Structure 1
Amino acid sequence: MDYDHMFHIAKKVVDSIEKGVKPLIGWERSDEVVKIGADGTPTKRIDVIAENIAINSIERHCSAVLISEEIGIKKVGDGPPEYLIVLDPIDGTYNALNNLPIYSVSIAIGEIPRRNRDIDAIKSMDIRDLELGMVKNIATGEIYYGRANKGAYILEKNEKEWKRIKVSDTKNLKDASVGVFAYGLTTNTLNFIKDRKVRRIRIFGSAALEMCYVARGALDAFINVNETTRLCDIAGGYVILRESGGVITDRDGRPLNMRLDVKERTSLICSNRTLHRKLVGIFGNKWALKPTKFGIISRIDREEALDLVVQIIDYLESKGVGYLLEEELYKTLKDKMDIDRYDCKVMEDIREISHMLSIGGDGTVLRASRLIGGNEVPIISIDMGTVGFLTEFSRDEVFKAIDMVIRGNYEIERRTKCSCVVKFREEERKDYRQKVLPDALNEVVLITKSPAKMIHFEVYINGEFVEEVRADGIIVSTPTGSTAYSLSAGGPILEPSMDAFVVVPICPFKLFSRPIVVDGNSEILIRILRKSVLAVIDGNVEETLKKGDEVVLRKSDAYAYFVKGRKFYSKLKKLGN
Structure 2
Amino acid sequence: MQASNIKKIGVLLRPSTPELKSSYFKLEKIFKNHGIDVYLDSISGAMIDIMGTEFDALCMHVDALVTLGGDGTLISAVRRSFKYDIPVLGVYAGSLGFLADVNLDELDEFVENMVRGKSRVDERSVLEVRIVSENDERKMYAFNDMVLTRPSVSNMIHIETLVDGKAFNTYYGDGVIVATPTGSTAYNVSAGGPVLFPLSKVFVLTPICPHSLTQRPVVLPGEFSIEMKTPEPRALVIIDGQDMHELDKNQSVHIKLATRTAKLIHREEFNYFDVLKQKLRWGE
Fold match by TM threshold 0.5: yes
Q: How does 1:68-83 map to 2 (within 5 A)?
A: none
Larger Cα-atom Rg: 1
- The answer on 1:370 being equivalent to 2:79 is yes
Structure-2 change in CA distance of 1:541 and 1:550 (3 Å): same
- The answer on whether the counterparts of 1:421 and 1:434 sit within 8 Å (CA) in structure 2 is no
- The answer to whether the aligner puts 1:571 opposite 2:280 as a matched pair is no
User: SS at the partner of 1:564?
Assistant: strand
Shift of 1:543: 1.1
Q: Which residue of 2 aligns with 1:530?
A: 232
Q: 2:32 aligns with which of 317, 335, 338?
A: 317
Deviation at 1:289, TM superposition (A): 4.5
**Percent identity, aligned pairs only?**
28
Match of 2:193 in 1: 491
Residue 474, structure 1, aligned to residue 189, structure 2: no
Whole-angstrom distance in 2 between the partners of 1:534 and 1:564: 34
Change over 3 Å in CA distance of 1:509–1:387 after alignment to 2: farther
1:492 shift after superposition? 0.1
Counterparts of 2:116 and 2:163, CA distance in 1: 45
Aligned residue for 1:530, secondary structure, equals coil
Residue identity matched to 1:373: F
Contact 2:203 2:220 in 1 (8 A): yes
- Paired amino acid for 1:299: R
Q: Count residues in correspondence.
A: 278
Structure 2 residue 225 is matched with structure 1 residue 510: no
**Partners in 2 of 1:324 and 1:570 — Cα distance?**
32
Gaps of 5+ in 1: 1-285, 425-431
SS at match of 2:119: coil
Alpha-carbon offset, residue 345 of structure 1: 5.0
Name the counterpart of 1:393. Answer: 102
The verdict on how the C-alpha distance between 1:417 and 1:485 changes in structure 2, with shifts beyond 3 A counting, is: same
Query: 1:438 is matched with which residue: 140, 151, 169?
Result: 140
Partner residue of 2:13?
298
The one-character-per-residue Cα deviations of 1:176-229 (angstroms, maximum 9, x if unpaired) are: xxxxxxxxxxxxxxxxxxxxxxxxxxxxxxxxxxxxxxxxxxxxxxxxxxxxxx
2:23 paired residue among 304, 308, 317: 308
CA deviation after TM superposition for structure 1 residue 441, in Å: 0.4
Which deviates more, 474-483 or 349-358?
Answer: 349-358
CA 1:303/1:530 → structure 2, altered by over 3 Å: closer, same or farther? closer
Q: Cα 1:549–1:386, aligned 2, differ >3 Å: closer, same or farther?
A: farther
**Structure with greater strand percent:** 2
Matches within 5 A, 1:39-188: none
Distance 1:440 1:448, change over 3 A: same
1:530: how far off?
1.7
Letter in 2 for 1:575: L
CA separation in 1, counterparts of 2:45 and 2:224?
41
1:551 corresponds in structure 2 to 253
CA–CA separation in structure 2 for the residues paired with 1:289 and 1:317 = 14
- Tell me, yes or no, if structure 1 residue 382 matches structure 2 residue 97: no
Asked if the contact 1:293–1:354 (Cα under 8 Å) also holds between the matched residues in 2, the reply is yes
TM-score by length of 2: 0.91
- Give the match for residue 114 of structure 1: none
CA drift of 1:386 comes to 5.0
Q: Which amino acid aligns with 2:181?
A: P
Residue 350 (str. 1) matches residue 43 (str. 2): no
- TM-score (normalizing by structure 1): 0.46
Moved over 4 A (4+): 344-347
Higher helix proportion: 1
User: Could you say which structure has the greater relative contact order, defined with CA pairs below 8 angstroms and 6 or more residues apart?
Assistant: 2
CA apart distance, 1:452: 3.6
The match for 1:330 is: 45
Deviation, 1:288, is 4.3
* Distance change >3 Å, CA 314–CA 287, structure 1 → 2: same
C-alpha contact 1:300 1:306 (8 A) present in aligned 2: no
Deviation at 1:570, TM superposition (A): 0.7
**Contact 1:452 1:472 survives alignment (8 Å):** no
Is the contact made by 2:232 and 2:248 (CA closer than 8 Å) also made in structure 1? yes
Structure 2 counterpart of 1:478, one-letter code? T
Matches of 1:517 and 1:511, distance apart in 2: 18
Alignment of 1:449-468 (within 5 A): 449-468=151-170
Contact 2:3 2:121 in 1 (8 A): no
1:400 is aligned with what amino acid? E
Take 1:387 and 1:544, find their aligned partners in 2: how far apart are those partners?
Answer: 34
Q: Which amino acid aligns with 2:138?
A: V
Deviations 1:5-49 (A, max 9, x none): xxxxxxxxxxxxxxxxxxxxxxxxxxxxxxxxxxxxxxxxxxxxx
Please give the alpha-carbon distance, in whole angstroms, between the structure 2 residues aligned to 1:495 and 1:304: 35
Instruction: Write the deviation string for residues 387-433 of structure 1: whole angstroms up to 9, x where unpaired.
Output: 62221212322222222332232211000000011112xxxxxxx23
1:358 CA drift (Å):
1.0
1:571 aligns to what SS in structure 2? helix
Aligned partners of 1:552 and 1:395: how far apart in 2?
A: 40
Aligned partner letter, 1:364: T
